[in-house]
Structure 1
Amino acid sequence: MRRIVFIITGLSTGGAEMMLLKLLEHLDRQRFAPHVISLTTLGELAPRIAALGIPVEAVGMKPGLPSPSGFFRLVQILKRLNPDVVHTWMYHADLLGGLAARLAGISAIGWGIRNSNLDKDKTKFSTRAVVGLCASVSKWVPSRILSCSEQARQIHVARGYVAEKMVVVPNGFDLTRFKPDTDARHRIRAELGIAEQTPLVGLIGRFDPQKNHAGFFEAAGALHRHLPQVHFVLAGQGIDTSNAALMQAITRAGVLANTHLLGLRSDMPGLMAALDVLASSSYGEAFPNVLGEAMACGVPCAATDVGDSAYIVGDTGRVVASGDMTGLAAALEELLALPPPEKAALGERARARVAENFEIGGVVRRYEDFYESLLANAG
């Protein structure tokens, strides 16, 4: 049995963290024995990992602050665990986890890239500095580098990552959890206090500059002027009425009475199934999970052309240029205006596209192949 240690920056709820959880839920435990290390704190996902019978621990580093003692603690943990493979997730874990694994005498090391936008105005200087360091040591630290999107692969090769080591494996989705659900549609709409026929547009994601919530409300305002009956529902970390910047954007757009802010939710499949259209207004994504989740629920998407969004959506929704909120409003309006049979057919095509290209079982098998390739190419 192959012993694998996964090292990730943290275990709060986010796209990368949720993909790690899905991988752990479906990993072949007859072949692989996983162990998870968070560089920072355990976060809300740690109990869910532990419930799978997988050991999980935290090094206790503070986000954004170098910690020599934490780094050497990580080296000691890896020496104690002596895994066959180390797979790191996200930039800080790639750099620190990769170097620690080398110092611990482990050579089968895989990095994980989950981001595609490194623009100066959207990405912290410290993150860009870590990316530069990763690029310079990518020649000798990792055996292979797994990117969740083709766009992210290209961007990182341009930044100096070794092209020959890059492999693309998309995110995966559990179609038994994310599926059309009439009961959930009724339940969520009752919770929001809106009628069954009220058009509902969703934006799901934590409050972060990359997600462009301000831009979304520009589009929402334009859509509202044409279709005043449309409601908007948002969920994610920082998405509540205490967020002054968010409330200002909503008020400026004139959609306060039509907007529902739900904060963090644990019932994402039901929430997705309640939507008529999912919007993604992001400036930067690698492989946005929300698109695949909505599509698996039979919900068409209108998204900005960032990361692999256009590839994910294919011909089952609408894609506009990054930053084009007028275009996003028009795309949302177009999807909402489709006759019910056409909209239902589009939703069925969206779910079929996820089943064909991004079903979690097939994606996890590609991860397992990646781990075998790490062992075969370790050095």
Structure 2
Amino acid sequence: MNIKKCSIIGKKNIIHIISSLGEGGAEGVLFRLCKHDTKNKHIVITLTSEAKYSLMLRNENIEVIHLNMPTGRLRLSGLFFLYRLLRKKKPCVVQTWMYHSDLIGGVIARLAGIRNVIWNIRHSSLEPSKTKKSTLYVAKLSAQLSSWIPKKIICCAEEAKVAHVNLGYDSSKFDIIGNGYDLSHFKPQLVKETIRETFNISSSIPLLGMVGRYTPEKDQSNLFGAISKLVSKGVPLYLVLAGHGMSSDNNELVELIDKFDISEQVILMGSVNDIPNFMNQLDLHILSSSSEGFPNVLAEAMACSIPCVTTDAGSAKHILGDCGWITPIKDTAALSNNILLALQEFEHKNKWETRKASCVSRIRDNFSIEAMVDRYTIAWDSIEINSEQKN
């Protein structure tokens, strides 16, 4: 491939390949990266059809191409179209996202003559009991090909690197780049509407919340068990839940809440569009997950100055630093105790304000969007320079 042809008016032509553009952490990171990187030209190719981030990317004048293959299925016509597209566009770098796109996009890019391929891994662990067999198979196959396909492998935390090196990935290829957040968007701010006013909740009662879809990995049963223990002790609180499936029409969720006898303390908001507005209404954010990659909700809450209690899932500890409370996964008693410790500190205004300020500083100093964009740009530049030297 002629490297000199891959630039457009001084900008590198970067093509991203991702399975879908639906709601998810990786999709959000890709959107923020393309939006805030003004030094390069970005094109996003998704293996499936239109979804949440498709329009959002186009609104930022970023080209989006859908291969429209069924979820979980490949079509030779779609793969051949991708091959021809890469041959035509001649990107400086092909950046793939998540296991299936890493493997499929990486192989097609190499067959199209593109050597500058970077994989992006979004999982921090791959426990067989918590991972789909198909995903585990693709990850293991990718590990065998990791010495040939990618020039670099990007992951978002050290524990992700260790887990994948143990799986057989080429240890020399890894580059750790943490997620970045738009701190002009996620910040302490006055709210547009208040949950307290809507549900007539006194300002003296702590408002706890969790943002996360209804799925086994989020382990809402663990959360409800912890809240139930606090309620049985007479601790005043309300728990507000937001995310896909976190609504009263989810009968399974409602039954679970009733099982723990906390229906009077739980408010179901469903999907929420304005996450910063939601976060800024909370006193404490809780994450009860048994499995995570890089839990964006923790960084988003902390950027809004909301302290967090979380299980030790994925990169949670890396995000929190010493600014919050870490609990072993699936340990309901420990989760309940840490929430109680947080609420006890909440009663001391000066301590709590110091805690909130440390949360903002932690995200500003380590997870700004500018820092993330700079790190990706360095990664793209470095493999292009190496390719030019070899040529």
Question: Shared fold by TM > 0.5?
Answer: yes
Aligned counterpart in structure 1 of residue 30 of structure 2, from 9, 15, 20: 20
**Other-structure match for 1:272:** 279
Q: Which amino acid aligns with 2:366?
A: N
For 1:16 and 1:118, the matched residues in 2 are separated by 16
**Which piece of structure 1 moves more, 239-248 or 362-371?**
239-248
1:295 partner SS: helix
Compared CA separation, residues 227 and 371, structure 1 to 2 (3 A): farther
Aligned counterpart in structure 1 of residue 342 of structure 2, from 306, 311, 335: 335
**Other-structure match for 1:292:** 299
Scaled by the length of structure 1, the TM-score of the pair is 0.95
For 1:376 and 1:208, the matched residues in 2 are separated by 43
Aligned residues: 376
Task: Quote the sequence identity (%).
Answer: 36
For 1:310-353, what per-residue CA distance to the aligned partner results, in whole angstroms no more than 9, with x for missing partners? 12111111001122121111111111121122111101011011
Asked if 2 retains the 8 angstrom alpha-carbon contact of 1:180 and 1:296, the reply is yes
Deviation at 1:262, TM superposition (A): 1.8
**Other-structure match for 2:220:** 213
1:154 aligns with 2:154: no
1:189 aligns with 2:196: yes
For 1:162 and 1:191, the matched residues in 2 are separated by 53
Asked if 1 retains the 8 angstrom alpha-carbon contact of 2:157 and 2:318, the reply is no
1:93 aligns with 2:98: no
Query: What aligned pairs does 1:74-223 form with structure 2 within 5 A after superposition?
Result: 74-184=82-192, 187-223=194-230
Aligned counterpart in structure 1 of residue 379 of structure 2, from 366, 370, 375: 370
2:130 partner SS: coil
1:12 partner SS: coil
1:203 partner SS: strand
**Which piece of structure 1 moves more, 209-218 or 3-12?**
209-218
**Other-structure match for 2:366:** 357
**Other-structure match for 2:47:** 39
**Other-structure match for 1:261:** 268
Deviation at 1:199, TM superposition (A): 1.0
Deviation at 1:121, TM superposition (A): 2.4
Query: What aligned pairs does 1:315-330 form with structure 2 within 5 A after superposition?
Result: 315-330=322-337
Asked if 1 retains the 8 angstrom alpha-carbon contact of 2:228 and 2:261, the reply is yes
**Other-structure match for 1:243:** 250
**Which piece of structure 1 moves more, 158-167 or 260-269?**
260-269
For 2:112 and 2:234, the matched residues in 1 are separated by 60
Deviation at 1:377, TM superposition (A): 3.8
Asked if 2 retains the 8 angstrom alpha-carbon contact of 1:95 and 1:130, the reply is yes
User: Between Structure 1 and Structure 2, whose CA radius of gyration is higher?
Assistant: 2
Compared CA separation, residues 11 and 342, structure 1 to 2 (3 A): same
For 1:5-54, what per-residue CA distance to the aligned partner results, in whole angstroms no more than 9, with x for missing partners? 111111111111111111112112xx310001111122011111000000
Deviation at 1:167, TM superposition (A): 0.6
1:313 aligns with 2:314: no
Asked if 2 retains the 8 angstrom alpha-carbon contact of 1:8 and 1:39, the reply is yes
2:310 partner SS: strand
Asked if 1 retains the 8 angstrom alpha-carbon contact of 2:125 and 2:164, the reply is no
Asked if 2 retains the 8 angstrom alpha-carbon contact of 1:143 and 1:377, the reply is no
Compared CA separation, residues 96 and 231, structure 1 to 2 (3 A): same
Deviation at 1:120, TM superposition (A): 2.2
Asked if 1 retains the 8 angstrom alpha-carbon contact of 2:191 and 2:280, the reply is no
1:182 partner SS: coil
**Which piece of structure 1 moves more, 60-69 or 202-211?**
60-69
